[in-house]
Every structure is written in structure tokens, then in C-alpha cells.
Amino acid sequence: MESAVSKHMRANGRCRHITLIDPGKQDLDTAAKRAMSAVQAGSECIFIGGSTNTSNDVVHATCEAIKEAFELRKFAASQDLDSNEDEWNVPVILFPGGGHALSPAADGILFMMLMNSKDRKFLVGEQVIGAPFIEKFGIDTLPAGYVVCAPGGEVGRVGNVDLIEKDDAALVRNYALTAKMYGFQYLYLEAGSGASYQVNPELIKAAKSVEGLTIIVGGGIKESSQAALAKQGGADWIVTGTLTEEIEDYVKLESTLKEIISELN
């Protein structure tokens, strides 16, 4: 039977928003507050990951801090007739930089193959290291192809990636087909965190033309007009990360995210 997390994450015809929290980039309290602002703004999933050098302990503590904060808000909402406690049923999903950045406190993991890496480590090596831990934790696995497009940034460099150029829609479609034939359910088109330009909507369109994949798009999206472009391309989920780290005021963070998310609805 399909799990609740999988049901939530699979494409449902609406373009939704994911907030990426990098555990290495803030303390636990800040991570929880950022995640709460994001949910209040309408973000429907939290990804935990990013940096490749964060220890398991920090990843685990960040997952726990966010999950606990959501539980408290859920309880508070259940005591208030004007609030909807379901708003806080937002999955916390690991988006790991390797076989080490794992936590049993997460609701699931994007179990990825960095499909255009030239390095065995990112194609299957880190996954082999992580798999027994994931089995032990019993968390949901969301099978995903991860494809890095130009400009690619840090993940392109560290992942030793053969970047997809911004007009190579045919190649993206071939990756999407390959992902589907492997049985992956998700395809993540990544431009790199803090990218100077986002994934070309034509590439998203090419990936979306392969039926049955849930398309996640991220990297370099900071404004509602950019989110609108990704949506027009056919993205099922849009990820923003850097944006959340750059805005220190939680009220401002919530209103900025709301603006982006309103473009998607």
C-alpha cells in the first residue's frame, strides 16, 4: 500500500513548494523557526540537506527540532477552533549529500541517483552505504533521479557532473526516460544552490513529457516570476533554499515565501 508520505509527495496536478533547510547553516532554533514560517506561508514539504560535510548528528538534531516544533503547533491548532491542525502535517524529507546525512526522525528520504555524475560514488556508492541505515530506520524511500543542469554550482563541481546545457531539452528527456525505466518516481532538475540562472522551463517541459514522473525543480529561484516560469514549464514541486537563509526576519520570510507560493496556486 502506498504510504502517506508518498501520496503527499506524488504529483497531484498542483504545483507546490518545498523549503530546503541546510542543517549546516543555522542553529536548531533558527531551523525550526524558518520551517514554521515556511509552513505558515504555504510551503508543503521541508527538505533537509544540502552541504556534503554535515554530520549525522547535526542532520538528526535538525530533523527532530523541526518535527517537534510542528507537533507543538499541531497540538495548539487542535485546541483552537479557528485553526486547522492539518496545516502542520508537512513531511520532513531528507535530501542527503551522501550516505552519512541521515536521520530516523525524518518522514522519508529522497533516495537519489545523481544521474549525470561521472563518479560511481554518486551514482550508487553513497547509496550502498546509506541503504542499511535507511532499512533500520524504516523511513519511506522516494526513488529519484537527480540531474544537474547548468550552471550547476557547488553540486555540479563536487558531484563531478557532466552538466546539461540550458538548451539541451532532448538530453533531459532521455534522462527522464531512463529514470522512468529504472522505476524512479521523481526527477529533480537542479541548477545548483544559489545559481545565477534557474533551470530553463524548456528543460522542465521535456522532462514532464515523460509520463508518470513527479518533477522537482530547484536552484536559483528567489522571485515569484521565476517560480511562475518553473510552473509554466510543468514543475510539480519548486524548491527554494538560499532565500530562506538570506532573510533574517521571520515575518519578512513568511511574506516573501507567500508571494512565491501564491504564483503556484
Residues in touch with ligand 1GP (CB under 6 A)? 20, 190, 193-195, 218-221, 239-243
> Nearest CA to 93 among 59, 128, 120, 126?
59
Strand runs labelled E in the chain: 16-21, 45-49, 92-95, 108-114, 140-148, 186-190, 214-218, 237-240
Contact criterion met (CB below 8 Å) for 187 and 220: no
Residue 88 or 227 with smaller CB distance to ligand 1GP: 227
Least CB distance to ligand 1GP at residue 34 (A): 13
Residue 161 or 239 with smaller CB distance to ligand 1GP: 239
Least CB distance to ligand 1GP at residue 81 (A): 37
Residue 63 or 88 with smaller CB distance to ligand 1GP: 63
Least CB distance to ligand 1GP at residue 12 (A): 21
Query: How much helix, strand and coil, in percent to the nearest 5, is found in the chain?
Result: 50, 20, 35
Least CB distance to ligand 1GP at residue 156 (A): 11
Contacts of 224 (CB under 8 A, 6+ apart): 259, 260, 262, 263
Residue at shortest CB range from ligand 1GP? 218
Residue 20 or 106 with smaller CB distance to ligand 1GP: 20
